[in-house]
């Protein structure tokens, strides 16, 4: 890619950084980069790709963060060119990757013909379970929504609450 280009405002919101990256590098290039990050084929500091700061990341973090940032980039610049990779990411060892992949799947209406999302409602991490239920259409923010596991409405201080 030549000399690396860095965002002028690295502290900007990830969606704004991703939009700027698309303007500078092109949507197709950014999508392929994000897919490479999510699949683990590309790392945060790879010189052949944009600076990870374009997705709100930095180098030196645990490896799974590159996959999270790749998914987050797809959230903002998607839909992905290869949607099946998002479904594969739902089995990632990192709960953060599973959670962010579910957000991308929901935002871009990715089909799940094998019911992988259904299985994540039993994920050991609550944030992944809630995101799976949300992706399947249950709204945990609705005050009159029941917990999907029990059918009961959560209460906190006399007011309905979310899980």
Instruction: List, as own/partner pairs, every contact residues 118-121 make where C-beta atoms lie below 8 angstroms and the sequence separation is at least 24, other chains included.
Output: 120/90, 121/148
The pTM (predicted TM-score) of the whole model is 0.82
Q: What is the pLDDT of residue 20?
A: 93
Q: What is the pLDDT of residue 7?
A: 85
DSSP letter for each residue of 118-148: HHGGG-SSHHHHHHHHHHTT--TT-TTPPPT
Q: What is the pLDDT of residue 8?
A: 79
Helix, strand, coil shares of the chain, percent, nearest 5, are 50, 5, 45
Task: Give the mean pLDDT per block of 10 residues along the chain (163 residues).
Answer: 68 92 96 97 91 91 95 95 95 98 97 95 96 87 53 47 43
């Amino acid at each position: 890619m030549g000399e690396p280009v860095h965002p002028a405002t690295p502290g900007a919101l990830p969606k704004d950084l991703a939009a700027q990256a698309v303007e500078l590098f092109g949507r197709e290039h950014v999508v392929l980069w994000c897919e490479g990050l999510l699949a683990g084929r590309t790392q945060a500091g790879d010189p052949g790709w944009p600076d990870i700061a374009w997705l709100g990341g930095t180098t030196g973090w645990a490896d799974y963060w590159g996959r999270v940032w790749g998914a987050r980039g797809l959230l903002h610049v998607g839909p992905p060119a290869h949607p099946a990779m998002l479904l594969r990411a739902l089995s990632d060892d990192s709960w953060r990757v599973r959670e962010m992949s579910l957000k991308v799947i929901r935002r871009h209406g990715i089909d799940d013909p094998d019911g992988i999302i259904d299985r994540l409602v039993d994920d050991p991490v609550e944030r992944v379970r809630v995101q799976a239920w949300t992706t399947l259409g249950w709204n945990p923010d609705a005050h009159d929504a029941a917990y999907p596991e029990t059918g009961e409405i959560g209460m906190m201080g006399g007011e309905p609450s979310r899980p």
